[in-house]
Amino acid sequence: MSIAVTLADLPAAIDQQIGWCYLLTVTDDSQPRVIAIAPTWSVGGVLSAEVGRGTAANVQARPNVTLVYPPASAADGMTLIIDGSASMDGSTVSFLPGTAVMHRPAVASGGC
């Protein structure tokens, strides 16, 4: 089940999540990479965080990335998924949200 989140509602949606997120990027050989970050809001509705060299290289080469915020309440919470574009300034990644949804499985959890 997915529920669209408007960009205007995004700050409130993020505030309801766990407080950190996963940043998903792709390597030169098309391998997915996931790191945990705690971005902060910057001017113009941009989320920013410090990242390492590998993630920075991935973002510079392929700026379309995804942030995934786990729910604060794992039992019945919804995951916030934000697609957007990113850029690098030194070791700081700046993420401009494009689209966002709150998502959870359509059926009760019972494993993978």
**Is position 88 within any domain?**
yes
**Is position 54 within any domain?**
yes
3-state per-residue secondary structure call for 22-39: EEEEECCCCCEEEEEECC
Q: Which CATH number do you get for residue 39?
A: 2.30.110.10
Q: What is the pTM of this model?
A: 0.90
**Is position 66 within any domain?**
yes
104 C-beta neighbours (distance < 10 Å), count: 14
**Is position 111 within any domain?**
no
**Is position 94 within any domain?**
yes
**Is position 55 within any domain?**
yes
**Is position 52 within any domain?**
yes
**Is position 22 within any domain?**
yes
**pLDDT tens per residue across all 112 residues of the chain:** 899 999 999 999 999 999 999 999 999 999 999 999 999 998 889 999 999 999 999 999 999 999 999 998 866 789 999 999 999 999 999 999 999 999 987 765 555 5
Supply the range of the domain harboring residue 54. Answer: 2-103
**Angle, CA 5 vertex, CA 24 and CA 1 arms, to 5°:** 80
How many domains, in total, are found in the chain? 1
3-state per-residue secondary structure call for the chain: CEEEECHHHHHHHHHCECCCEEEEEECCCCCEEEEEECCEEECCCEEEEECCHHHHHHHHHCCEEEEEECECCCCCCCEEEEEEEEEEECCEEEEEEEEEEEECCCCCCCCC
